[in-house]
A and B are shown apart, each in its own frame.
Chain A
């Protein structure tokens, strides 16, 4: 008995040690990252996931020298853009210059402070936005000079957009461009301050054509009712119903414009605008592309996510940058949330005021205005698996994605996208029982129903003889019972 106790003690000690060491390892891993990675499940519960992206490095202006001179730190940089040749253009707003880095962000290629404006030397005044067209021309939203400047690679200006005139514009309207982007036909899309009608579109010759992607104000019947009751003075004091402004813009290879906007209700923080300016984004089963789903509370840190920039990445995947909580939300083309990571703070790898996000060579790169830093995030295995699997699904190769989804499940057991992906593959392969199992875990009701229907038919056809003979036996028994009862009744009488 005593020996047994000793054995027990030894075993329990070993177990304790094992648990201690393994848990310590996990804790250490979690501690390395300054933020949580999570996702929302079908019931909008938060479930924590492995990190899809981890901070790789932080770049400040102090890291660089140009022509032997130190570059100096960035001062409230506001925008960042990758040119077709790979160079990265940073709008160093506070220093009134555009800094061009090479694609590896190791050295400065050039600094644009002055440019040739029809023979005269001209300067920027708070350049907020920068964009490089497919032809390599640089478009700068020169905020305080109230103009958009377009120049070629040698800083020769060929187009200046200022004082746009149109019947649809107010006479005393001030043109304060914040963000600019250019499509394949050199049409210029400008987000201007206090321009609630939408994104301004200019032809390649600088002529204002129209507003694009106007966000309609939705007033509920309840609000209308109160408006009606209110007196004129009360109405004057009430908040105006103004549509939200756009904050960031990106164009995908098909010519669709992705534009982020701030939605106080947290339902739609990003739009996908077709060439006619209509929103064609898919919002997934939550009917939500607005960032966080749990936004209760009244502190500074709570409330709906505020998307300040959006980047189209590849295969229908796009990422949105939330400046309220410093998180990056990544969606696929169906509007499913793929992963969420990032956070606000002062540690390395966190943001204080993130303003722009860009996908540079597979790395998610975020520009922080207050810190004047560029933060690079590199994908982990978890992030890579999801990106690749979603890309395969986008191309229609769901069967090929199964291996990737299975690996995702090993890392994150509750990943509903992975379960649904595997379930759908089994459904096409004809293994309905397994398909039902995975589709239920993935909460994909429609596909589950399809799988169930086929499974039911399979069972019915396989066992048709049993069912039919069973029914026949029951019928015979029933009539026999009736006849027996009748006879008994007759006997009794």
Chain B
């Protein structure tokens, strides 16, 4: 297979979407996946998500456009992606998971593609529907998200060579691990802030005395 964004990688991405079981297996064992492509997919998902929130028609959209910031949401999605990958990796390392960090990144990243697709599709469809047809819009989005989640689940299951039960268990622990990571990061930033303040006050003290 070619480099990161080669034609084969792209076509294998679409193969994985339609055949997740098989697709993820070969991603783990034959290097058919591409991490940069997965990250690109996550970025596209973030953009489509923002686009849906901003551009969906007035009938279905009750959000205040002033409260939506595309870059802010991109940061959020990327941070969440990183957090999920790292916490899943750190949990599965201890639980006999076979997947490497890059496999996890590909599994989750490729899983966002159905969601991206459905976000764009529903944004277009929202322009054509009236109040009573809102249910279709909701079902469409629900189906897309469900498909994406199932894909991620299968992806994680396959790259680690887990059973479904063990996958769900590790996912639960992954969420706890993610919370711990967030907690530690907050603690770290807080402590670093204190250290910074300490040196800063020494500096100002010196400035005032000299």
Measured CB to CB, the residues of A under 8 A from B are: 43, 440, 445-446, 448-450, 452-453, 456
Task: Among B59, B62, B64, point to the contact of A452 (Cβ < 8 A).
Answer: B59
B residues neighboring A (CB under 8 Å): 58-59, 62, 64, 128, 130-132
Asked if residues A448 and B128 are in contact (CB atoms below 8 Å), the reply is no
Query: What residue in chain B is nearest A439 (Cβ atoms)?
Result: B58
Given contacts A440-B58, A452-B59, contact A446 B64 (CB under 8 A): no
- Cα distance A179–B62 when bound, in Å? 43
**Distance from B74 Cβ to chain A, minimum over Cβ atoms (Å):** 24
**A446: chain B residues within 8 A (beta carbon):** 131
Shortest B95–chain A CB gap in Å is 38
* A456 engages B128 (CB within 8 Å): yes
Chain B positions within 8 Å of A450 at CB level: 130-131
Q: Is the interface of B mostly helix, strand, loop or mixed?
A: loop
Q: Quick check: A445 and B64 within 8 Å, CB to CB? A: no
Chain B residues lying within 8 Å of A448, measured Cβ to Cβ, are 58-59
A452 cross-chain contacts in B, Cβ below 8 A: 59, 130
Of the candidates B58, B128, B132, the one whose C-beta lies within 8 Å of that of A445 is B58
Are B131 and A449 touching (Cβ within 8 A)? yes
Nearest chain B residue, comparing its CB with the CB of A453? B130
Q: Assess the B128–A449 pair: CB atoms within 8 A.
A: no
Q: How far is the CA of A54 from the CA of B59 in the complex (A)?
A: 39
3 shortest A-B CB distances, which residue pairs? A449-B131, A453-B130, A449-B130
Nearest CB of chain B from residue A47's CB, rounded to whole Å:
13
The minimal Cβ–Cβ distance linking B138 to chain A, given in whole angstroms, is 15
Could you tell me the distance between the alpha carbons of A87 and B43 in the complex, rounded to whole angstroms?
73
Q: How far is the CA of A445 from the CA of B128 in the complex (A)?
A: 15
16 A-B residue pairs with CB within 8 Å = A440-B58, A445-B58, A445-B59, A445-B62, A445-B131, A446-B131, A448-B58, A449-B59, A449-B131, A449-B132, A450-B130, A450-B131, A452-B130, A453-B131, A456-B128, A456-B130
Min C-beta distance of B202 to chain A, whole Å? 37
Min CB gap B30→A, angstroms = 28
Which A residues lie within 8 Å of B62 (CB)?
Answer: 445
Q: Say yes or no: A43 contacts B59, CB within 8 Å.
A: no
Using Cβ atoms and an 8 Å threshold, which residues of chain B touch A456? Answer: 128, 130
Chain A residues in 8 Å Cβ range of B64: 43
CA distance A452 to B64 in the complex (A): 21
Q: Which residue of A446, A448, A449 has the most chain B CB atoms within 10 A of its CB atom?
A: A449
Of the listed residues B128, B131, B132, the one surrounded by the most CB atoms of chain A closer than 10 A to its CB is B131
Bound state CA distance, A450 and B58, in angstroms? 12
Residue of A nearest to B58 (CB): A440
Q: Which residues of chain A are near B128, meaning CB under 8 Å? A: 456
- Which B-chain residue is minimally distant from A457 (CB atoms)? B130
